[in-house]
Amino acid sequence: MKQAQKMQEQMMRVQEELATKTVDATAGGGMVTAVVNGKFEVVSLKIEKEVVDPEDIEMLQDLIVAAVNEGIRKAQEMSASEMSKITGGLNMNIPGLT
């Protein structure tokens, strides 16, 4: 039981650390960049002015969605990697942790 409690404490610590770590993801050859933290929150979004075309808003929307989705995917990978260090690679499928 102590081992489970220790693992839970370690997982909580990793979650706190992940909140401070970020990943960058780009779309459109770097025209849109999303920064996502380890809690899967978008913390910033950068759009190069060259990609802003009032005649083609749909392309900009697609690039934003692509960058954000890639950022979330990278953050999920980062989170899973950090958690596997604690769980020894066990797939625990705990919602919100992996």
In this predicted structure, the answer to whether residue 92 has a pLDDT above a threshold of 60 is no
pLDDT tens per residue, range 12-22 = 888 889 999 99
Query: Looking at residue 7, what is its pLDDT?
Result: 80
> Distance between CA 17 and CA 56 in Å, rounded?
40
H/E element holding 23?
A: strand 22-27
- Residue 74 has a CB neighbour count (10 Å cut-off) of 16
Distance CA(50)–CA(92), nearest Å, equals 44
What's the topology of domain 2-87? Ybab; Chain: A; (3.30.1310)
Which of 59, 63, 25 is closest to 44 using CA atoms?
25
Asked whether residue 89 carries a pLDDT value surpassing 70, the answer given is no
What was the pLDDT predicted at 2?
Answer: 82
pLDDT, greater one: 10 or 98: 10
Tell me the per-residue pLDDT of 14-68, one tens digit each, with 9 for 90 and over: 888 999 999 999 999 999 999 999 999 999 999 999 999 999 999 999 999 999 9
pTM over cut 0.85: no
User: Strands across the sheet with 22-27, in order?
Assistant: 22-27, 32-37, 42-47
Listed by start position, the domains of the chain span 2-87
